[in-house]
Structure 1
Amino acid sequence: MSTGAVRARRLASLLLGVAGTTALAWLFGSLEPRWVSVVWVSLVPWLLVLNRISSWREAVLAGVALSLAFTSALFGWFPAAIQSYSQAPLAVCWLALWVLAPFMEFQFITFALVRYHLQRTTQAGPWAFWRITLTGALVYVGTEWLCPKLFAETLGHGLYASELLRQGADIAGAHGLTFVVLIANECVLAAGKALVAHGPREGSRRALAPLAVLAAILLGGLGYGQLRYQQVAEAKASRPDLVVGVVQANITKYEKLAAEMGMYDVVRMILDTHYRLSDELLQNRKLDLLVWPETVYPTTFGTPKSEAGAEFDAEISGYVSRSQVPLLFGTYDLEQEREYNAAMFVGPGRDGTLTRSAYRKTMLFPLTEWVPEAIDSPWLRERLPWTGYWKRGPGPQTLSMQLREGRTLTIAPLICYESIFPGYVAEEARRGAEFIVTLSNDSWFSGTPAPKLHLMHAAFRSIETRLPQVRVTNSGISALISPTGEVLTAVPDDQRGSMAVTVPQTPHLSTLMVAWGDWPGPTALVLSVVLLLGPSLLARRKERQAESPHPLPGA
């Protein structure tokens, strides 16, 4: 067979393996329970490819190919969303996604390279498989932490569809689940290879160890999930449950509406719609708190920029005074010409006056909300007029709210993008938050899988902290999420609706994620370096000791 034919065959094998893993990832990426078991075999086609590569260039090619295919399959909706936001040509948006794909999924490249290196350098023996498997999994998780992604996705999110297996996220987050998923896939491949290579009898004996580890992972995950699920269900708090009003008006694309109607009429329509939906809730339930979504009031509150703005500010305050129900809503906050995306709380005080406090968003989406000062310039603004002007807030904060009847409530506030950062939410939980409130605006991604994926991220934050969560969005998906990550009730994407949800007040259940924060990533990175460099350093030390002359007796 000619050299060209051999290369073509190897390339075809590589592409087939990439296609197999991508297809399986697309299935469990739907987050449907019927596909959750696919997670445990999803990487096997690609791992087969990695077993056959013969150079570091092939390893890089295998990683880049999977990053491109994976990104295209799971985030193929993103270019159209960016086109809608920036008005750039769709082809340019797709090109940008493909250019970024190897950097957003850099863990595929490092994993492939490390696995190739270890297969060549690890001496054959009973522990060779486990050294390669554990080191590769640690490198994968460590790379994901070291190279943050726009969407913070990881393989462990595929277990969200299992109400028991996802409970392990309170130990090590979704990245901890990714680690066990990688180990499980390697075990499946090792068992399959043993059976194929050695036949039923000898192959079964050789497959026993990886199958035992696989069984331990599955049974341990299910058992732990059942235990934690039961603990959450049995936990009772002395505090009464909260009744929270959620309003999703499904009014989107403010800039387009302002161009057609004028900004004053747009704000007028937004507020009137939210007043009406809120009044419907107040007529049927006694609410402890009313929540409107991110940037629902698309101007500064408390520091008006015009007379009309001052009138709207007074109107919102008057609504809170008349209803006597505290209001948390998304707006802009201004301080010394620095503008922030903020969650504003306005509530009736004990002396009849209104109290007010604000939380400023810290984790801003790159370019669309925030431009780093190092690259901000008139040249950039001229060529990318859609870039944002907001400044970053001070970091994780809790917000104390004075409710009716003198009760004080401490919440972990999050605005949109912040809900994808485990360590950020864990810090707020450590500060005594009783539950999470997320204000979001996913309208640019309405009609795509993005709202569902964003909701899944939010659910993981509740599992990791064991705090209930109220999530309120402009266009969906607004939801009440339990401490086990279950969506108890929701207003679907691209619909108008309001609901009064009862938030269960449970005692604080300790979790490792709250105690240690987002620990899996840095821990995996350090351990992977130790496992990669440790054996060679130890071997060199032994060589130096062997080469050094022995001291004479009595010297």
Structure 2
Amino acid sequence: MLGREEASSGRRFSGGLGAVLATTLALWVFSLLRMPWTLLGWVALVPWLVVVDRARSSREALLLGAGLSVTFSAAVLGWFPGALQSYSGAPLWLCWLLMLLLAPVFQLQFPVTALARQLARRAVGNRAGWLPPMVSVLVYVGVEWLAPKPFADTLGQGFVYSERLRQFADVAGAPGLTLALLFVNECVFAMGRAFRTRGAPGALKPLVAAVALVVVMLGYGSFRLAQYVVERSTQTALVVGAVQANIINYEKLKAEHGTYEVVRMILDTHYALSDSLLREAPLDVLIWPETVYPTPFGVPKSEAGAELDAEISAYVAARNVPLIFGSYDVEGGKEFNAAMFLSPGDKEGEAPTRKVYRKSKLFPLTEWVPELIDSPGLREWLPWTGRWSPGSGPRTVLLKRRDGRILRVAPLICYDTLFPSYVADEATATADLLLTLSNDSWFGGTPGPRLHLTHAVFRSIETRRPQVRVTNSGVSALIDDTGEILTEIGDGQRGTAVMRVPWHTAGYFLARRWGNWLGPVALVMAVALLGGAVLGGRGERY
């Protein structure tokens, strides 16, 4: 008897591991964002759902979820340990170990979904067969909103290059696409189970539901694209000059050549690239990337710093073109990662006016350490931790264009872009443009810059605002309000681009009004459904 139990346990373990690996492989191929492999997303979770439904206990379900979180992180986010090692100098093995140990926390949706599904099945038994799948879908989306995901990744982002499907993001953002993908996976799973028990007629209902959802989403996307095409031709363009100098690893350069010489080289390079842009076209605005001027602007720390500040202002005045660039700002002993907005004076010889946006969403540890855990000991142990303070929050900046008209900019710096609700608060009804300054050089040569660009695409769709994205080393891009990338300077390239920005035309919808509303709504619905089922099951037993 013991031998049979051991053999059965071995088979269950092998089956569970095989299903986890099959789903991981399918999700990895899906994450490559290349047709026709993107279609795997619609069925990728089915092997995992099969073994989760066969779990005999909550513990087994949790293990299946935690296992998928680990393998998913290793396969889809396997580029991150190398980037972390490059930034921190920690051993690569330690970076991998930390990522894998934290995977069940950062990809919390997998273990919690498996557990909730198992509890729902136990509560309803053979009744209300629709409940476990419904709870699973809602829990997955809700927990993703709640979990501390450093890159805010979600499966729905895999449809970023589907011109029609991605338009649904103005309803519920990328999580809305995730919900649709999960629903179709559940329908495919239900089709297989129904076919085994009732034959082809039994599989018809879930098939119709899956096809109907996809058709509705495609139809909505076609409708939104048609709106944009009809109205776009009447819109005038904003002409932006973007500079991507591909100068990276400032700290190493400073150690080798000295701070002043490095800043001097950075500025001279950007002046030369900017002048070539100004010869190419009359620009309304000139834009340099995040922290391109790696010292405080307007509050210099030295006489040399004051001279460089004056030089940048003189450049703006001499070219008579507004300049937006990344720098630092200082106030009350605190230092901020900031975007500087310089506009030429109204009169000849008048100094440019300066406005500042301070980055509010800082990457944990590398840019900012919470006061609760900040200490000299931590700084000594992790010398690469950041010292910036978060800004005060969303704001719209008014910038005078070269022709004198006012441009209303919703500025974002790097990590700000990952937060849909934050961007929605910035992109008020009066904002003309989303502007992102970023430095993705630490992730160069990995999928990281492309993932960051994907977030930017969804923010433009959700708010129905065009976006100019300028980075140190790529990917710089012009994105219209349908998510189309009109201009791009690739990762690891030096280049400039004249970006002709079409004004926004497509009216915004729920994602612009409420930000990431689907996550909390899904979580509340899941708790209500699961709680009702559990309590109802207990009531029947008594």
Does 2:254 correspond to 1:252? no
Residue number among 112, 115, 129 corresponding to 1:113 in the alignment: 115
- Give 1:423's aligned residue: 421
Q: Deviations over 1:337-394 (max 9, x none)?
A: 1100000000113234311100000000000000000100000001111000000001
> How far 1:449 sits from its partner (Å)?
0.7
Does 2:519 correspond to 1:529? no
Structure 2 Cα separation of the partners of residues 437 and 447 of structure 1: 24
Q: Deviations over 1:280-313 (max 9, x none)?
A: 0000100000000000000000000011111110
Identity of aligned residues (%): 55
- Give 1:139's aligned residue: 139
Q: Deviations over 1:240-295 (max 9, x none)?
A: 31000000000000000000000111000100000000000000100000000000
> Letter of the aligned partner of 1:164 in structure 2?
R
> Letter of the aligned partner of 2:426 in structure 1?
E
> Letter of the aligned partner of 1:437 in structure 2?
L
- Give 2:374's aligned residue: 376
Q: Deviations over 1:55-114 (max 9, x none)?
A: 111111101100000000011111111111111111111111011101000110110001
Structure 2 Cα separation of the partners of residues 208 and 445 of structure 1: 46
Q: Give SS of 2:56's match.
A: coil
- Give 2:466's aligned residue: 468
Q: Give SS of 2:115's match.
A: helix
Does 2:284 correspond to 1:285? no
- Give 1:191's aligned residue: 191
Structure 2 Cα separation of the partners of residues 476 and 517 of structure 1: 27
Alignment of 1:90-239 (within 5 A): 90-125=92-127, 128-195=128-195, 197-198=196-197, 202-236=198-232
Q: Is the 8 A contact 1:371 1:388 kept in 2?
A: yes
> How far 1:518 sits from its partner (Å)?
1.3
> Letter of the aligned partner of 2:229 in structure 1?
A
> How far 1:405 sits from its partner (Å)?
2.8
> How far 1:506 sits from its partner (Å)?
2.5
Q: Give SS of 2:152's match.
A: coil
Structure 2 Cα separation of the partners of residues 503 and 159 of structure 1: 24
Structure 2 Cα separation of the partners of residues 320 and 384 of structure 1: 40
- Give 1:437's aligned residue: 435
Q: Is the 8 A contact 1:245 1:287 kept in 2?
A: yes
TM-score scaled by length of structure 2: 0.97
Residue number among 396, 399, 402 corresponding to 1:398 in the alignment: 396
Q: Is the 8 A contact 2:135 2:530 kept in 1?
A: yes
Structure 1 Cα separation of the partners of residues 50 and 322 of structure 2: 58
- Give 2:301's aligned residue: 305
Structure 1 Cα separation of the partners of residues 236 and 190 of structure 2: 53
Q: Is the 8 A contact 2:227 2:506 kept in 1?
A: no
Which deviates further from its counterpart, 506-515 or 148-157?
Answer: 506-515
- Give 1:9's aligned residue: 11
> Letter of the aligned partner of 2:149 in structure 1?
K
Residue number among 289, 292, 298 corresponding to 1:296 in the alignment: 292
> Letter of the aligned partner of 1:217 in structure 2?
L
Q: Give SS of 2:371's match.
A: coil
Structure 2 Cα separation of the partners of residues 294 and 441 of structure 1: 6
- Give 2:85's aligned residue: 83
> How far 1:510 sits from its partner (Å)?
2.1
Q: Give SS of 1:357's match.
A: strand
Structure 2 Cα separation of the partners of residues 269 and 431 of structure 1: 40
> Letter of the aligned partner of 1:59 in structure 2?
A
> How far 1:543 sits from its partner (Å)?
9.4
> How far 1:9 sits from its partner (Å)?
1.2
Per the alignment, do residues 238 and 404 of structure 1 end up closer, same or farther by CA in structure 2, a change over 3 Å counting?
farther
Per the alignment, do residues 542 and 207 of structure 1 end up closer, same or farther by CA in structure 2, a change over 3 Å counting?
closer
- Give 1:447's aligned residue: 445
> How far 1:541 sits from its partner (Å)?
7.6
> How far 1:486 sits from its partner (Å)?
1.3
Structure 2 Cα separation of the partners of residues 43 and 215 of structure 1: 17
Q: Is the 8 A contact 1:36 1:162 kept in 2?
A: no
- Give 2:70's aligned residue: 68
Which deviates further from its counterpart, 438-447 or 112-121?
Answer: 112-121
Q: Is the 8 A contact 1:180 1:217 kept in 2?
A: yes
Cα RMSD after superposing both structures: 1.5
Per the alignment, do residues 486 and 119 of structure 1 end up closer, same or farther by CA in structure 2, a change over 3 Å counting?
same
> Letter of the aligned partner of 2:136 in structure 1?
G
Q: Is the 8 A contact 1:399 1:413 kept in 2?
A: yes
Q: Is the 8 A contact 2:357 2:411 kept in 1?
A: yes
Q: Give SS of 1:294's match.
A: coil
Q: Give SS of 1:385's match.
A: coil
TM-score scaled by length of structure 1: 0.94
Q: Deviations over 1:206-252 (max 9, x none)?
A: 11110011011110111111111111222248763100000000000
Q: Is the 8 A contact 2:228 2:505 kept in 1?
A: no
Per the alignment, do residues 456 and 219 of structure 1 end up closer, same or farther by CA in structure 2, a change over 3 Å counting?
same
Structure 1 Cα separation of the partners of residues 86 and 508 of structure 2: 43
Structure 2 Cα separation of the partners of residues 383 and 537 of structure 1: 49
Does 2:260 correspond to 1:264? yes
> How far 1:431 sits from its partner (Å)?
5.2
